[in-house]
């Protein structure tokens, strides 16, 4: 008879330990979070130390926490670029910086193109739709240009209008709220300690100030970061606990997909799939009731383990294109959810859950077709090539 590799038990009331049974650390802290007690920094370090088979146990409990706190189903969001390229900032991961020689050429969308992309995103089941602009922050003229789109999207009530516009003053945040924007995305990107190694033209505190201005204006806050920038686990924990303190509602988890021409290209080893899943799981333990959005780099880094992002604790993802590369087609992502037996959770105001529909979902992301005869050339390049979409800032 084959015997399990486990520690023999003399007391049948004692839970089994060892290989083949759940890791004690993951189980103890998983039960703690499920009981409503947040984990401490020291306890989070215990999770970071788990390796090998224990990572699977970590994901097991992260999944239990996800289902208990945010539910068993998934949310989509979608983005398109309003203004592309020519950015004054020197973020070393971003192909839109004017400091880097990349493929990106400055351009911007018309309001009609934004509206059509939002309709396509709604049809594909996205709960939120964001306009993402390059640059340190919006000018009044740029807010004037985008206001008709945001007002129309908000009045339609079918999708949540979101904005990723860089730094916001308190007055700009209030204005966005007044025109119907519901959520602002502005990532911390990494820890305060590591931030200066990635960006020099603005500070970590500048980003925190924008998040505080958004919350003060009554806007929902979406903020996370990029992993694989050369940070260590202490940096990852710094950012996680900072986001918990700030009160981010949605936490995007991006994985570096370095683009040729950026300073990080060829300078960082890509994360291994299990390490990327471990990051998601640790964040789920620290942020049990938050929406963890798996965004840029998920195809390149997770590879065949992409659907495991839910088992690791992820609860939403971008559908369509993201970062500066094309994403999977909506049809593929709908098929993934159908295969997992998961439903799509539409945004809260509708309180609707629907089945994924692979046959009805498109082969191109929202905004790919453009409007009329003038297709948006930045969005319809051959699949597999890079395109001028910004990093989710």
How do residues 302-335 score in pLDDT, each as one tens digit? 999 999 999 999 999 988 765 455 667 888 999 9
pLDDT(168) > 90: yes
Three-state DSSP class for residue 232: coil
DSSP 3-state assignment of 216?
A: helix
* Of residues 271, 272, 253, 236, the one with CA closest to residue 317: 253
3-class DSSP state of 53 = coil
Asked if residue 42 has pLDDT above 60, the reply is: yes
Q: Which H helix or E strand runs over 276?
A: helix 273-286
292-304 average pLDDT score: 93
Check pLDDT > 60 for residue 2: no
> For 280, what's the count of Cα atoms within 13 Å in the CB-facing half-sphere?
39
Q: What is the pLDDT of residue 3?
A: 45
Task: Work out the angle at residue 229's Cα, subtended by the Cα atoms of residues 224 and 230, and round it to the nearest 5 degrees.
Answer: 130
Going from N- to C-terminal start, the domains of the chain cover: 69-354
Give tens-digit pLDDT for 337-384.
Answer: 999 999 998 766 555 678 877 776 767 666 665 543 334 433 333 333
Q: What is the mean pLDDT of residues 172-201?
A: 97
Report the pLDDT value the prediction gives residue 373, as an integer from 0 to 100.
34
- pLDDT tens sequence across 252-277: 999 998 777 887 878 899 999 999 99
Predicted local distance difference test score (pLDDT) of residue 355 = 80
pLDDT attached to residue 7: 46
Mean pLDDT of 96-124: 78
- C-alpha 84/C-alpha 90 separation (Å) is 15
Q: Which residues of 348-371 are buried (b: 16+ CB within 10 A; e: fewer)?
A: eeeeeeeebbbeebbebbbbbbbb
Average pLDDT of the chain, as a whole number: 85
pLDDT surpassing 70 at residue 200: yes
CA distance 391 to 325: 10
- What confidence category does residue 392 fall into, taking pLDDT thresholds of 50, 70 and 90? very low
Q: State the pLDDT at residue 162.
A: 96
Distance (Å, whole) CA 243 – CA 245:
5
Looking only at Cα atoms, what is the longest distance across the chain? 76
Percent of the residues in the chain that have a pLDDT greater than 70, as a whole number:
80
Homologous superfamily of 69-354: Aldolase class I (3.20.20.70)
More confident residue, 392 or 93: 93
Rounded Cα distance, 294 and 271, in Å: 15
The DSSP bridge pattern shows strands 225-227 and 220-222 to be unpaired
Q: What angle do CA 279, 281, 285 make, to 5 degrees?
A: 115
């Amino acid at each position: 008879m084959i015997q399990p590799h486990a520690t023999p038990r003399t007391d049948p009331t004692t839970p089994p330990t060892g290989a083949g049974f759940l890791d004690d650390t993951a189980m103890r802290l998983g039960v703690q979070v499920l009981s409503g007690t947040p984990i401490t920094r020291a306890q989070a370090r215990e999770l970071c130390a788990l390796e090998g088979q224990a990572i699977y146990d970590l994901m097991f409990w992260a999944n239990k926490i996800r289902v208990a706190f945010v539910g068993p189903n998934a949310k989509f969001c979608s983005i398109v670029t309003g203004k592309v390229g020519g950015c004054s900032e020197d973020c070393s991961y971003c192909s839109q910086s004017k400091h880097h020689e990349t493929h990106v050429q400055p351009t911007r969308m018309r309001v009609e193109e934004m509206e059509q992309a939002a309709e396509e995103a709604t049809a594909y089941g996205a709960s939120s739709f964001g306009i993402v602009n390059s640059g340190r922050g919006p000018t009044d003229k740029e807010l004037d240009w985008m206001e008709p789109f945001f007002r129309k999207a908000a009045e339609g009530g079918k999708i949540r209008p979101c904005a990723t516009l860089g730094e916001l003053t308190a007055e700009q945040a209030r204005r966005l709220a007044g025109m119907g924007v519901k959520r602002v995305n502005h990532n911390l990107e990494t820890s305060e300690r590591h931030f200066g190694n990635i960006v020099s033209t603005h500070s970590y505190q500048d980003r925190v100030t924008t998040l505080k201005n958004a919350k003060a204006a009554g806007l929902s806050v979406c903020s996370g970061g990029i992993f694989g920038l050369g940070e260590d686990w202490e940096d990852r924990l710094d950012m996680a606990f900072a986001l918990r303190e700030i009160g981010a509602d949605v936490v995007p988890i991006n994985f570096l997909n370095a683009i040729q021409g950026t300073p990080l290209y060829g300078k960082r080893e890509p994360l291994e799939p299990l390490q990327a899943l471990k990051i998601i799981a640790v964040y789920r333990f620290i942020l049990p009731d938050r929406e963890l959005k798996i965004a840029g780099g998920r195809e390149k880094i997770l590879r065949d383990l992409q659907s495991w992002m839910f088992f690791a604790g992820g609860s939403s993802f971008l559908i369509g294109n993201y970062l500066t590369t094309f994403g999977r087609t909506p049809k593929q992502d709908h098929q993934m959810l159908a295969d997992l037996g998961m439903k799509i959770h539409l945004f809260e105001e509708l309180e609707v859950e629907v089945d994924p529909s692979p046959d009805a979902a498109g082969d191109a992301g929202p905004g790919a077709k453009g409007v009329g005869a003038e297709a948006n050339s930045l969005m319809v390049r051959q699949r597999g090539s890079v395109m001028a979409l910004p990093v989710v800032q």
